[in-house]
Chains A and B, each alone.
Chain A
Amino acid sequence: MKKNWPLWEVFVRSKNGLEHRHFGSLHAADAEMALENARDVYTRRSEGVSIWVVESKNITASNPENSGELFEPAQDKVYRHPTFYTLPDEVKHM
């Protein structure tokens, strides 16, 4: 069977101090080429200082069908947020 160039996901750090962010995807035969292609496709306008590429098939994603059990239980844990706690008005910042 004929093999096509696999899909890669591209993550770019726009400048030092910021995290790598998902920028998009592209096709490449190998990792080296994926990096070069990512440079040519996604940083043509000086958008980045560092690139990660990972073959799309290697990403494990959560299933939206499970999003209820995965993410909703966090919603009522209001005590994790500072606004849950009362402070006397005199304390301006804490």
Chain B
Amino acid sequence: MLDFLAQALTPFNLTLALVGVVLGTVIGALPGLSATMAVAVLVPFTFAMDPASGLIALGAIYTGAIYGGAFAAILVNTPGTPSAIATTFDGYPMARRGDGSLAVTLATLSSVTGGLVGAVFLLLLAPPLAKVALAFGPPEYFWLAVFGLTLISALSTGNMLKGLIGACFGLLLSMVGVAVVGGDIRFTLESQTLLGGINVIAALIGLYCIPVLIDLVATPDPHLKVAAGAGGFRLAEAARLAWRSKVNLLRSSVIGTLVGILPGAGGSIAALVSYSEARRSSKRPERFGQGEPDGIMATESANNATVGGGFIPTLVLGIPGTPPDAVILGALLVQGIRTGPTLFVQQGSIVYTFIFGLLIATVLMLPTGLVLGRYAYQSIVSIPKAVLVPTVAFMTVIGSYAIQNSPSDVVIMWALGVMGWGLNRFGFSPSPIVLGLILGQIAEQGFVQAYLIGNATGNVAGMYFGRPISLAILALALLTLFYPWLSDRWRRRRRGTPDD
């Protein structure tokens, strides 16, 4: 093992890890530039390297990009990558009230923690954990999506009905296009551009960023408040907060690793699930969504843990855990490396050198992230508003265009953004809509596939309610939904006070 560590520590590999993390962070911070794209662009360069170094470079870019997504989420309320959606919930409110640098530092500490936990799981437990991916069938994905939807109750502050209506609207938006199951062409309004459906990232940029821009130009106030005397990294304060929330950090990292193992779930769901869990177990759930540090720590540790988690099925089963993993798998194929259960034995030197490289890259994220984060924060704060608005607007346009190189995605982004602004003014917040949009396809496909399989084996009810993992997720969903009410009752009973 130690000689693999030494191989990962060669100056060349260290340089690759450092350059990869920096590039990845910058790319991830720009909305619309996803980790997938960052990895795909860099793949040809790795063909000239030996496989382990190539993998280290790609892994470093990937983990950096997932982390960089937090910058845009915190500073301009736009998830740079989908996995940073839940980071906007508390990150942006923190930045607005002047705690932007604290939020960025917290995100860095959490991302490093999550990344390390995911990579350690990859190092020590990859083959057994890959079985988790296989244990998840269609009904489990269906219930996982339902579990994700219970988060609406947390997100719809004010009026639960409006949150639920928004989620239904998001679910319907996710149905637009050609249906995977059934092959129907749904709700495209006879338009060819909608055949491919509504791109989630374009929708994210629109729903989260356009309203910010619209409100930004309406007043001469600065974009973010700057707390007096709160410059610098606020590293000590962040470290104290992180230490206080070590349980949250660890739990979220483990959730992130596990969800990352599931092909077809991904960082956004990992972050949402751990956010939901953090809120449920928090002593002050009402502060979530208002700028609660625990919220950022949960989402950022979870989404970086999916990097290590996602590599588990990629390397062990040859099934990409996340979209960037698909690109990396393709690169391995071209290099002539066969993934599979024997990879860890036959190509141990490549695999373990890579995993150590990933660990090193994750650690390097701490200094680079703090410096880059501080720079990003400083520039967002110090750029005059008149320049900030068109710059951010330009990023939304080029970002939504670059996802699929499609001008119609820019139009969709704009339309959803303006609509989102209007709806938000009347109490329909964008987050339930986004939640529906992300989870709709997973829920629908899981449900119908489970029905098809259940029907073929003559046990439809057993498919949904007769499988242990399904039941466990269902129980968690119910717990999340009724926890506030239950804990209220428990507390009352303990205190012995009558209802008032």
Answer whether A and B are interacting partners.
no
